[in-house]
Structure 1
Amino acid sequence: MPFSRTRTGCYTCREDGYKCDEQKPFCGRCIRLQKTCQGYGVRLKWQPLQGLPKPKRARNTRQQKEHSKDHSNDETIPASSSESTGQIVRYDPSCIIPNDVHPVNRYLLNHWSTTLVTMVSMVSTSQNPFLVHLTPMISHSIALRSVLCSIAACHLAILRNENSFHTLATRYRLVAVSALRQTIQTEDPELSLATILMLQVSDRLFTVDSGVDHLSGAKAIINQVGINKWNSSRASFLLSLCSYHDILASVSRGKSPVFEFDGEFPIEGMESMKELTSVLRIVGQISRMRDQDAKHLNAWGYAIEEVLNELDQSEGPMGDVEHTVQAYRYAAYIYLYRVWHNKGAPDPSALKYARSCLAHLSLVAVGSPLVSAQVWPLWTAGCESIDVDQRQFVRDRINAMYEARHLPSLRRIKQDIEDVWNIKDEQRNLIGVDNVDCIKAILRSRQREADLT
């Protein structure tokens, strides 16, 4: 049977004379053999403009390869029009990707540094601490680089609706875990901690529950070095990330935080997040109330209630940060009374705080970076909402957040809230009161934690 040459495969397979499986964005053969996949489609050849000198060509192919090899490790910074005007060119942290990485890695890391970092951070792009602190670390750690590639592949699988990215995500995650095990005793502790924390982020946003307690692993690394030795700005960012995930995990687990320094480090290492950090610290203290005996519970409750009262910002203009702080504050009231008195809707105070929390959230545009921190207050106020319009706002808000970010954790949290509403409504219809703890309801019905980060 005569061989029929195709013109739809990638250029690498066509040059090698092999059949291409045409998997996008890189074909399976190139990935398997770690070849540079040259892609698909039509290649355009641009002619030089008349009147301009043609670029000098290398004498032969060997000379071209040697020239390319000599410059293979150069750091490249995107050209800017300001170069010709003499203006200062600011270095873009999102471009710190090693030049010697495989093209697939580069493709995934580029998606991480240009897209995903804006979804996991509460800070604007110019100051995004994931770019400033985390992305430069990828050239020093295979484990960290691999987990970021895994996260990017998970997200691209949703955006592109292609299962091949799910396969890539699993492969990179296995590489990350294997590399972490091999280097955790010898590698810079900051690199190991960063890898563990990004595995935690991956679990919360994509994996649901891997069954691994990443926060306990993070605590072991921190204690091994000694908390006083984590004194760089990058260390402060990592410790703040630990604290943030630890406190919200304490809520979703119904347990005390793992770390003793909850709220000590400003969120994402940013002083601008100081007020939000203060409220988050209170949330951690409320979680610790679960371990208090009855004779000390009231003292804790009254003390926390007084601190929350002092954080009122009813006067003056508010921006996204202030609205988010107040949403956290009202959610903290709801959480406090649930832990302290097991009191929720239809109690008037719970309904009032839920309404106020949702009102502040509604004043923050869905495109704001602060929205990445608003899942917990939305969950807390949403679960206590009885009003039909408020419940519809919660649905619409989560839908809008998903359309802007395409993170599967948002779909799970929406379904969890719907489940809680059904459970609470059924109980109110039966006995006229609601003593349903939302977190415990999900732990029982779903056999997993709610995704509050």
Structure 2
Amino acid sequence: MPFSRTRTGCFTCREDGYKCDEQKPFCGRCTRLSKTCKGYGVRLKWQTPQSTPKSKASKSKRQQRNRSNDKTITAPLAPLAPLTPLTPTTPSMPFSESQSPIIKLDPSCIVPNDVSPINRYLLNHWSTTLSTMVSMVSAPKNPFLIHLTPMISHSTALRSVLCSIAASHLAILRHEDSLQTLATRYRLVGVSSLRRTIQTDNPELSLATILMLQVSDRLFTMDSGVDHLSGAKAIINQGDLVVRNSSSASFLLSLCSYHDILASVSRGKSPVFEFDGKFPMEGMESMNELTSVLQLVGQISRMRDQENDDLDARGREIEEILNALDKSDDAIGDVGHTVQAYKHAAFIYLYRVWHNQGAPHPRALKHAKSCLDHLSIVPVTSSLVSAQVWPLWTAGCESIDSDQRKFVRDRVEAMYEARHLPSLRRIEQDIEEVWKIKDEQRNLIGVDNVDCIKVILRNRQREADLT
């Protein structure tokens, strides 16, 4: 029986000339034939003012030109394809079209075959460089690659956000403002796609996209004004991710917990979630000790909402737990030293929230020194350094010894030279700001009751970048 043509089927069936059953998120025909289902809805195209058609004739010519270059310009899985190296506004690329075969993604990074060369270039930078900077685990066990890589081919939103992060980083490495403009455009496409698909996509895809927007904000854009963690909470509650027994869900929930707890420190508020350490950091069982300390950090943040009697009782309880975690400072390997650094930073944070007590109190100075000593043993090239910003910040802000402060300055500088992440430059500036204010108060009244988090919130009008 003949059927009337519609405009609501998936793009794959429409291009093949077959009727689509319009199942979501992937249609039945594409699933049966193992085809890449290109989805539904509107194809996004970036258009510069100069390309706006002025007449029907020019519009007709432009449509013919687009049809002849359909694979490279209007690929539905690459919304930013119009910004290919063929356009004058695109940043210079380290290759020409004739050289494009040399662009090879890391074997673990699987993307659709029809994405544009610039998309492949950016995703390659993500998989080979940036993913190693945001993870505490080196390849081949890097969970960002293990869990996000299979999602790239199924989510335009996630793919666009990863391209945006890569473009932002390359803009710094290559000193090209045009790459930052490209990063902004990719981000807009990612957010737009997320809004369209958030109700129909697998909740893991949506959560992964939201969390990578959170990572992007922390590393590159400071404060976008968007509360990604509240959005993540809505996805988790609606998608029943907590009860899912999958490694990817565990990884995403642990990543959400990590950012939520450290955001609670930088905001001076309670965490949004309370996972109780069920999901180890980055979904790795080897990170259980670090997860236990981080969980206590979240509990310390919750103390800010408690009354005096409850506050004192909870403070004593957490102090006992921290003491029981490890009665010695002996540590083995980068993980062991990072765990110890977190433990001493947690002590500093506890006494600040509990008693508003910091340097020059002997306890604060003792834990600051121990924390920095453990951090100094971990080489700056270690993957664990990606998790050391918070303890470095916490101990660094309480340091009054000139040698310790020199170590903090040198360490942050070395971390930046190894990673070139703008958040590290902001951390460096924030610590210097805290030192200046704390020194002035000690010189004036002999004591220090300056909360470093509140200093940044008040003076910088933003949170400290602790992740």
CA gap of 1:228–1:424, structure 2 versus 1, over 3 A, is: closer
Comparing 175-184 and 98-107, the one that deviates more: 98-107
Deviation of residue 26 (structure 1)?
3.0
Q: Which residue of 1 aligns with 2:396?
A: 382
For the Cα contact (< 8 Å) 2:84–2:117, is it kept in 1?
Answer: no
Superposed, 1:133-282 pairs within 5 Å as 133-282=147-296
8 Å Cα contact 1:77/1:95 also seen in 2: no
* SS of aligned partner of 1:125: coil
Aligned mates of 1:425, 1:413 — CA distance in 2: 18
Deviation of 1:124 after TM superposition, in Å, equals 1.2
Identify the range of structure 1 (93-102 vs 368-377) with the bigger mean alpha-carbon deviation.
93-102
Render the CA deviation track for 1:74-133: whole Å, top value 9, x for unaligned: xx999xxxxxxxxxxxxx763322222111110000000000010000001110000000
The answer as to whether partners of 1:313 and 1:326 remain within 8 angstroms in 2 is: no
| 1:26 aligns to 2:26 (yes or no) | no
Deviation of 1:39 after TM superposition, in Å, equals 3.9
State how far apart, in whole Å, the 2-side matches of 1:171 and 1:240 are.
Answer: 29
> How many residue pairs are counted as aligned between the two chains?
382
Hey, what's the Cα distance between the residues in 2 that align with 1:198 and 1:313? Answer: 37
C-alpha displacement at 1:229, in angstroms? 3.3
Give the distance between the partners of 2:342 and 2:242, measured in 1 at CA: 30
**Residue 103 of structure 1 corresponds to which residue in structure 2?**
117
What is aligned with 1:288? 302
Q: 1:305 corresponds to which residue?
A: 319
Contact 1:197 1:218 in 2 (8 A): yes
Residue 31 of structure 1 and its aligned partner are, at CA, apart by 5.7
Which deviations, in whole Å up to 9, do the C-alpha atoms of 1:182-234 show, x marking residues without a partner? 11111111000000000000000000000000000000010112244332100
Match for 2:173: what amino acid? L
Judge which range, 184-193 or 314-323, deviates more.
Answer: 314-323
Q: Is the counterpart of residue 449 in structure 1 residue 456 in structure 2?
A: no
Query: Match of 2:377, as an amino acid?
Result: L
Structure 1, unmatched stretches of 5+, are 1-15, 17-23, 44-75, 79-91
Change in CA separation of 1:245 and 1:239 when aligned onto 2, cut-off 3 Å: same
Per the alignment, do residues 233 and 202 of structure 1 end up closer, same or farther by CA in structure 2, a change over 3 Å counting?
Answer: same
Whether contact under 8 Å (1:343, 1:435) holds in the other structure is yes
Provide, for residues 349-372 of structure 1, a one-character-per-residue CA deviation record: whole Å limited to 9, x for no partner.
000100000000000000000000
**Do the aligned partners of residues 27 and 434 (structure 1) sit closer, same or farther apart at CA in structure 2, a change above 3 Å counting?**
farther
The runs of 5 or more residues in structure 2 that have no matched partner are 1-68, 70-82
Tell me, what secondary structure is at the counterpart of 2:378?
A: coil
Provide closer, same or farther for how the CA distance between residues 391 and 307 of structure 1 changes in structure 2, counting only shifts above 3 A. same
Contact 1:262 1:284 in 2 (8 A): no
Match of 1:432 among 446, 454, 460: 446
In the other structure, the counterpart of 1:61 is none
* Cα distance in structure 2, aligned partners of 1:41 and 1:244: 42
Say yes or no: does 1:328 pair with 2:374.
no
Q: Where do residues 352-391 of structure 1 align in structure 2 (5 Å cutoff)? A: 352-391=366-405
Residue identity matched to 1:26: P
Relative to 1, partners in 2 of residues 1:315 and 1:205: Cα closer, same or farther, differing over 3 Å? closer
C-alpha distance in structure 2 between counterparts of 1:334 and 1:39, whole Å: 50
Q: CA deviation at 1:404?
A: 0.4
Partner residue in 2 for 1:84: none
Change (3 A) 1:41 1:313: farther
- Do the aligned partners of residues 41 and 256 (structure 1) sit closer, same or farther apart at CA in structure 2, a change above 3 Å counting? closer
CA distance in structure 2 between the partners assigned to 1:122 and 1:151 by the alignment: 18
Structure 1 pair 198–426 and aligned structure 2 pair: CA distance change class (3 A): same
Deviations 1:302-357 (A, max 9, x none): 11000100122626551100000000000000000000000000001000100000
State TM-score, norm by structure 2: 0.79
Which of 420, 428, 434 in structure 2 is aligned with 1:406? 420
Q: For residue 435 of structure 1, give the secondary structure of its aligned residue in structure 2.
A: coil
CA-CA distance at 1:40 after TM superposition: 4.3
- Provide the rounded CA distance (Å) in 1 between the counterparts of 2:242 and 2:175: 46
- In structure 2, what is the equivalent of residue 418 of structure 1? 432
TM-score (norm 1): 0.81
C-alpha distance in 1 between matches for 2:242 and 2:388: 31
CA contact (8 A) 2:264 2:270 kept: yes
Percent identity over the alignment is 76
Residue 133 (structure 2) aligns with: 119
1:128 matched to 2:187? The reply is no
Contact 2:84 2:90 in 1 (8 A): no
1:418-443 deviation per Cα after TM superposition (whole angstroms, max 9, x unaligned):
00000101111111110000000100
Residues 41 and 171 of structure 1, relative CA distance in 2, 3 Å threshold: closer
